[in-house]
Structure 1
Amino acid sequence: MANAKKSTGGRSISRARKSKPGLTMFLKANFKTLATKGVRGVKLKTPGAAKKSVGLLIKRYGEAFEKSNRAGRVHSFLVNVDPDGCAVATPIEQSGTAARGVAQTRTADTRNAGLEAALAAARERGRVRAAEILSGEDMLSADELANLLHTTRVTINAKRQNGQLVGLDGAKRGFRFPVWQLDRDGKPYPELPGLRERLGGPWAVFRFLVQPHDELDGLTGREALELGRGEAVLAAAESVGRGDFR
């Protein structure tokens, strides 16, 4: 079979080729012509019943192009074609499922943005609160605590690392040490390593020591240590570490 190819209107025309029974179409227009003139700017050669459907598809394309150009965004339509070549074209905007999908996506994006903003605000409040705690008068630097205990900075850092001292990382200010973790004899409470083991990091130990607990009759961990209730303090920390809430 001979193939033909020619050009009209500055646009190449596709070759006519027939392989299986179905739809064969000659387009003598470029896409801009479709948008402006619709079907009138196109010559069609189709099997009888399909000709109307092809015209409809080209018309829908022109409408989609015009709306997309006017709105400055993508405009889509859905095409369903049966074996006889008959087609139905439906703008996506008229599809309830698609509309709901877009709405759900926008809602999810809004929720995610709100969550991120809330988390960012919480982190900022945490940083501000930590800075307030670390700048308190009861917080000592490693050098200050070393002088108080008549030891060296190296020893203080070693005790911090093994949990014998509570040292809070202050980033710009370095590690800070609550002075009240020392007992009446000026020594670190012996329960501190046990608290570190049960609760984890130094900030968790710090929070436990400054917060009241039902297991300690409403006392804070620090107050209970000052009263000599070390075993009760460790038991309460064990409960907190397991996540026992009442």
Structure 2
Amino acid sequence: MPNIASKVLTSSPKRMKVLLQGYGDAIAKSRTAGRRVSFRVDVDPDGKAVVTPFEEAVAAPEPRVEEAVAPDPQLQAALAAARERGRLRAAEILGGDDMLSADAFANMLGTSRVTVNTKRQSGQILGLDGAKRGFRFPVWQLDAEGKPYAELAVLHERLGGPWAVYRFLVQPHGELDGLTGREALERGKVKAALEAAESVGRDFR
């Protein structure tokens, strides 16, 4: 049967033209519409083929535009107040006696300001950004030998940023039996501190 069908089609170029035209039109319409289309071929006893035009593509619905919702004045005021409290709290923290400038911190480490900033950028040193005061460096991030805790880079990686590392180091944690991250490092509980940081980091991902 396949051979007979092939011979019938090839014996009449006109039939082939009709079929190929219908097929080509369907391909073009499908690409334009981005979906499947179909066409029908009717054949009479004499072998005459009639191609019924393919279905019209249904126009894609217009994307619904959400109506603009006016911001809630009370919510906006609450957010602004929260941002202001955060700004004041950050300024208070950065103005503490335990916060050193880059130059003072570099002198304490016996190195240069450039080196301090390079290590801050790589997370090896904790530096907190203050809009007016510039970066400030907690003096308590140094171990008993006067060097920044080696775990600071890992804490930056797991917690995502300097202020997150600061909060971890100054706040008590249940996973550390109520110790702060800093106290855990001071007592040599390095593994427990890093595991707690991993847990805290997961909660905020």
Match in the other structure for 2:175 = 215
Match in the other structure for 2:159 = 199
Match in the other structure for 2:119 = 159
1:132 and 1:165 map into 2 onto residues whose CA distance is: 21
Match in the other structure for 1:173 = 133
Letter in 2 for 1:154: V
How many residues align structurally? 137
Match in the other structure for 1:182 = 142
Give the secondary structure class of the aligned counterpart of 1:239.
helix
1:133 and 1:233 map into 2 onto residues whose CA distance is: 23
1:192 and 1:220 map into 2 onto residues whose CA distance is: 14
State the 1:200 CA deviation: 0.5
Give the secondary structure class of the aligned counterpart of 2:132.
helix
1:231 and 1:147 map into 2 onto residues whose CA distance is: 30
Give the secondary structure class of the aligned counterpart of 2:137.
strand
Match in the other structure for 2:88 = 128
Instruction: Indicate the percent of aligned positions where both proteins have the same amino acid.
Output: 74
2:183 and 2:174 map into 1 onto residues whose CA distance is: 13
**TM-score, normalising length: structure 2:** 0.65
**Equivalent residue runs for 1:30-41 within 5 Å:** none
CA displacement 1:83-115 (0-9 Å, x = unmatched):
xxxxxxxxxxxxxxxxxxxxxxxxx85x71100
Structure 1 residues not aligned, in runs of 5+ = 1-107
**Which stretch has the larger CA shift, 122-131 or 111-120?**
111-120
Give the secondary structure class of the aligned counterpart of 1:172.
coil
RMSD of equivalent CA atoms:
1.5
1:135 and 1:230 map into 2 onto residues whose CA distance is: 29
State the 1:171 CA deviation: 1.3
Letter in 2 for 1:213: H
1:137 and 1:125 map into 2 onto residues whose CA distance is: 21
Letter in 2 for 1:122: A
2:104 and 2:148 map into 1 onto residues whose CA distance is: 15
Letter in 2 for 1:184: A
State the 1:172 CA deviation: 1.1
Letter in 1 for 2:155: L
Match in the other structure for 1:236 = 196
Q: Which has the higher contact order (CA 8 A, sep 6+)?
A: 2
Letter in 1 for 2:89: R
Give the secondary structure class of the aligned counterpart of 2:198.
helix
Letter in 2 for 1:124: E
Q: Does 1:149 align with 2:104?
A: no
**Equivalent residue runs for 1:6-155 within 5 Å:** 112-155=72-115
CA displacement 1:32-89 (0-9 Å, x = unmatched):
xxxxxxxxxxxxxxxxxxxxxxxxxxxxxxxxxxxxxxxxxxxxxxxxxxxxxxxxxx
**Which stretch has the larger CA shift, 235-244 or 128-137?**
235-244
Give the secondary structure class of the aligned counterpart of 2:103.
helix
Give the number of the structure whose alpha-carbon radius of gyration is greater. Answer: 1
Q: Which runs of at least 4 in structure 1 moved beyond 4 Å after TM superposition?
A: none
